[in-house]
């Protein structure tokens, strides 16, 4: 006889502790994002990070301005899907193999890297270069001034 195929959705009861822990984790991540006044990537390197524009995209989404949201970061829907998958997985409402998780991570990383490179090469106004304002450039200028 053939075995039954594994179900994507599990029929486990709601685990309140896991639900609370997952909500707290999401709130902490959101607070960290909103409390950082400046992108650390840009601060140290002088180049916008691959997620640049994501906060503005979600703020535009809250105003139902989808065109503006896509303008700020075209991958905001991917983030929504990934967060939803993460929550469902952590709550054991869906089952994902390690291989599936690895594939999802690889596709997401590739999508972010590819989008980032396209935005940099096309000189997107959302993604900026300003190496001279970076901490590394300022440190380099400071050290070169000491030895000249």
Q: How many CB atoms lie within 10 A of CB 61?
A: 17
Q: Where are the alpha helices (DSSP H) in the chain?
A: 16-35, 40-45, 54-62, 66-72, 76-90, 98-121, 135-146
Mean pLDDT of 107-111: 95
Q: What is the mean pLDDT of residues 65-94?
A: 91
Does residue 63 have a pLDDT over 90?
yes
Q: What is the predicted pLDDT for the residue at 114? A: 95
Mean pLDDT of the chain: 83
Other CB atoms within 10 A of residue 50 CB: 21
pLDDT, tens digit (0-9, with 9 covering 90-100), for 10-40: 556 667 888 888 888 888 877 776 666 567 7
| pLDDT recorded at residue 10 | 54
Query: What does the pLDDT read at residue 92?
Result: 84
Q: Please give the structure tokens belonging to residue 15.
A: 């685990």
Q: Which residues pair with 47 in a beta bridge?
A: 129
Instruction: Tell me what pLDDT residue 1 has.
Output: 46
Nearest to 49 by CA among 133, 127, 134: 127
pLDDT of 137 higher than 50:
yes
Task: At 116, list the tokens.
Answer: 């980032």
Distance between CA 87 and CA 91 in Å, rounded?
6
Is the pLDDT score of 93 beyond 50?
yes
pLDDT reading at 125 higher than 90: no
């Amino acid at each position: 006889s053939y075995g039954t195929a594994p179900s994507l959705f599990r029929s486990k009861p709601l685990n309140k502790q896991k639900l609370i822990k997952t909500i707290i984790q999401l709130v902490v991540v959101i607070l960290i994002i909103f409390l950082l006044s400046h992108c650390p990537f840009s601060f140290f390197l002088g180049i916008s990070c691959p997620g640049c524009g994501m906060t503005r995209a979600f703020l535009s989404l809250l105003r139902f301005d989808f065109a503006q949201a896509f303008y700020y970061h075209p991958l905001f829907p991917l983030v929504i899907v990934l967060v939803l998958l993460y929550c469902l997985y952590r709550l054991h409402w869906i089952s994902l193999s390690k291989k599936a998780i690895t594939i999802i991570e690889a596709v997401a990383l590739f999508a972010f890297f590819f989008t980032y490179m396209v935005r940099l090469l096309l000189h997107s106004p959302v993604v900026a270069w300003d190496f001279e304002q970076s901490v590394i450039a300022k440190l380099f200028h400071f050290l070169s001034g000491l030895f000249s």
